[in-house]
Amino acid sequence: MFGNNNLTPRCFDEINTDNKLIQTNHPVSYKSSKLNINLEDSRNINNNLPIDPSQTLSKSLELSRQRVSLLLEINTLLLQKCIELQNTENTKKEHSEASESTMTGCIQRLQTNLSYLAAVADKSYRSEENYLYKNPIIFSPPLNVYSLVEHYEKLKSLF
């Protein structure tokens, strides 16, 4: 029945009259080509894990702070660009298609950034373990706003 099996146990646990296993301390030989366990590898795995859970928490908090401060800086620049575009349109009394699309892009980014910041700040969501913060959806600067390219590249790297 098990003619090609490489398993050759020396002894088995015995079953007593109460149908309970009797534990024996005899070694049982077992050969398997599929199971290769290296104890050194398993010890090295534990060395890569953080020892203190507060280290992971502090790194997570620092990353969150960096994200929030960068988003606030981006929002400031977006608001400045909106004001600049509005003042330009008021003085020229004309609406160009390029400035309108730039204004729309700035407003969309402000909206998504503020939604993300509101979710982070909302304490009621923090208490729920299964809540995941939504990332800002737009990771590219608005058209013709080259001063924000570097900021958005940094934002991509933080998420």
Predicted TM-score of the model (pTM)? 0.58
How far is the C-alpha of 102 from the C-alpha of 106, rounded, in Å? 6
104: containing domain = 59-158
- Residue 100 belongs to some domain of the structure: yes
How far is the C-alpha of 133 from the C-alpha of 149, rounded, in Å? 24
| Sign, CA torsion 72/73/77/78 | negative
User: Which of 21-25, 35-39, 130-134 has the weakest average pLDDT?
Assistant: 35-39
Q: Which of 18-27, 34-43, 92-101, 135-144 has the highest mean pLDDT?
A: 135-144
Q: Which residue has the higher pLDDT, 137 or 155?
A: 155
- Residue 90 belongs to some domain of the structure: yes
pLDDT band for 38, please (50, 70, 90 cuts).
very low
- The yes-or-no verdict on residue 44 having pLDDT over 70 is no
Average pLDDT, the chain: 72
Q: Which two tokens stand for residue 101?
A: 């699309």
- The yes-or-no verdict on residue 90 having pLDDT over 60 is yes
pLDDT band for 132, please (50, 70, 90 cuts).
low
**Strand ranges for 16-102 from DSSP E:** 21-22
- Residue 48 belongs to some domain of the structure: no
- Residue 15 belongs to some domain of the structure: no
- Residue 35 belongs to some domain of the structure: no
Structural domain total, the chain: 1
- The yes-or-no verdict on residue 97 having pLDDT over 80 is no
Q: Which two tokens stand for residue 128?
A: 């729920």
Helices and strands (H, E) in the chain, number of each type: 5, 2
Q: pLDDT above 90 covers what percent of the chain?
A: 28
- The yes-or-no verdict on residue 123 having pLDDT over 60 is no
Which pLDDT does position 32 carry in this prediction? 43
Helix or strand (DSSP H, E) at 77: helix 53-92
